[in-house]
Structure 1
Amino acid sequence: MPADGGEADKRHAPATLRNRDAIAAVLADWLPAAGTVIEVASGSGEHVIHFAAAFPHLDWQPSDPDPAGLASIVAWRADAWLANVAPPIALDASASDWPVDRADAVLCINMIHISPWEATLGLFAGAARLLASGAPLILYGPYTEPDVPTAASNLDFDANLRARDPAWGLRDTDRVKSVARDAGLAFAERRAMPANNLMLLFRRT
């Protein structure tokens, strides 16, 4: 992992500016009052910086499996000067061993549909290892839902993802909930979000 990240290392995800405030509004209801939040697949790092500023009572641990993503997080963190954002760690959600051993909440934004299914399995297994009873795993992104018509834009997005990589694609919420149950996490709440996205809350049983 790079120790320093400069301006040239910063990645920009335009969707972050559009969705970060809506996500933060839900996080205000779902995050614990104190403790450490591990963000899995932090990407550019823009989300974690925004949330750390919005929730200064929490400590934030960004992570990503991509060296370029880690460099971007380092660069954004260096600019933000936020004491509650830890240096990012290299973390592959699908791995059976994560470089952390506990968390008070786990957050994962826009990973499940752009990663192999093994990453989703690993995400729930890892969250189950880290979280105490009642602690939250929070997901954000596009999904398909039984008995709920899928927006045309999401169908197009799903087709585009699968054309890019057959292992990618929008996941069915019932299948995700089944994985959660098997891992020891109970589905707690669903929130509809702008642009046909969802936030899903699971809690460690």
Structure 2
Amino acid sequence: MPLSTCLPDSPPLPASPACERNRAPILDVLSTAFATRQHVLEIGSGTGQHAVHFAAAMPWLQWQSSDRAGQDLGLARRLADAALANAPAPLDLDVARGPWPVPAVDAARFDAAFTANTLHIMGWDAVEACFAGLDTVLADDATLVVYGPFNEGGAFTSDSNRDFDAMLRARDPHSGLRDLEAVDALAARIGLRLQDDVAMPAHNRCLVWRRRR
């Protein structure tokens, strides 16, 4: 019996409508990008909807979710309910402060990482810290996939993205849509080279980097 149904006073699991809408097109990208990968670190797993869906659809992957401690969006409960052998309990990870998981040996490094709709929520200093942390945990041939809205050449790619950016900055002046070129520069510093830029629904993108060292 699922864990949440065993607890009489357990509240309903939080759910993100955006995760339900975007999981299919993202999976189309991941099925190719992660076809030869084995151990994925997801950053900012939130409600866990992506983690459960992708782990179930790609059973050859060990899908390691993570989020900040105290960010109770139902992640641990959803993973427990799903009881997938390739989706272990989430890690506590604040990309700006750590601690990042420390591989005991190089072979224990993640050969893939994924994050969705996080870079525009973080401050830029946290985005920089995120890539610095990825440098310590990714294998030399790792693949990184990032989903979300991005600016290009310093300009918004749609009116809806402009409005979304204004809403984000009104809530937190440190957040906002990131320039693709600036994020790609951070990736390049840790040996990641952009392999694919896939247009997604609602003016989002899936960016695929591969590390070559």
TM-score by length of 2: 0.88
Preserved CA contact (<8 Å) 1:185 1:202: yes
1:190 is aligned with what amino acid? D
With over 3 angstroms needed to count, the CA separation of the structure-2 counterparts of 1:76 and 1:100, relative to structure 1, is farther
Q: Provide the secondary structure at the position in 1 that maps to 2:65.
A: strand
| Cα distance, 1:56 vs structure 2 | 0.6
Greater radius of gyration (CA): 2
With over 3 angstroms needed to count, the CA separation of the structure-2 counterparts of 1:195 and 1:57, relative to structure 1, is same
| Cα distance, 1:148 vs structure 2 | 6.9
| CA offsets 1:10-56 (integer angstroms, 9 cap, x no match) | 22111011000110000011014242111000011111000000001
With over 3 angstroms needed to count, the CA separation of the structure-2 counterparts of 1:125 and 1:106, relative to structure 1, is same
- For 2:112, the equivalent position in structure 1 comes to 105
Q: Which moved more, 1:163-172 or 1:75-84?
A: 75-84
TM-score by length of 1: 0.91
Preserved CA contact (<8 Å) 1:105 1:137: yes
Query: Are 2:90 and 1:88 equivalent residues in the alignment?
Result: yes
Aligned equivalents of 2:126, 2:44: Cα separation in 1: 10
| Cα distance, 1:180 vs structure 2 | 1.2
Q: 1:153 aligns with which of 145, 160, 167?
A: 160
- For 2:106, the equivalent position in structure 1 comes to none
Q: Provide the secondary structure at the position in 1 that maps to 2:71.
A: helix
Matches within 5 A, 1:129-168: 129-146=136-153, 150-168=157-175
Aligned equivalents of 2:146, 2:75: Cα separation in 1: 20
Preserved CA contact (<8 Å) 2:93 2:99: no
Larger helix share, 1 or 2: 1
Aligned residues: 201
Aligned equivalents of 2:133, 2:144: Cα separation in 1: 10
Preserved CA contact (<8 Å) 1:128 1:185: no
| CA offsets 1:104-144 (integer angstroms, 9 cap, x no match) | 10101110001111221122122222222221111000010
Q: 1:120 aligns with which of 127, 138, 156?
A: 127
Preserved CA contact (<8 Å) 2:111 2:141: no
Runs (4+) off by over 4 Å: 4-7
Structure 1 unaligned spans of 5+: none
Aligned equivalents of 1:42, 1:96: Cα separation in 2: 16
| Cα distance, 1:8 vs structure 2 | 1.7
Give the alignment's Cα RMSD to 1 decimal.
Answer: 1.9
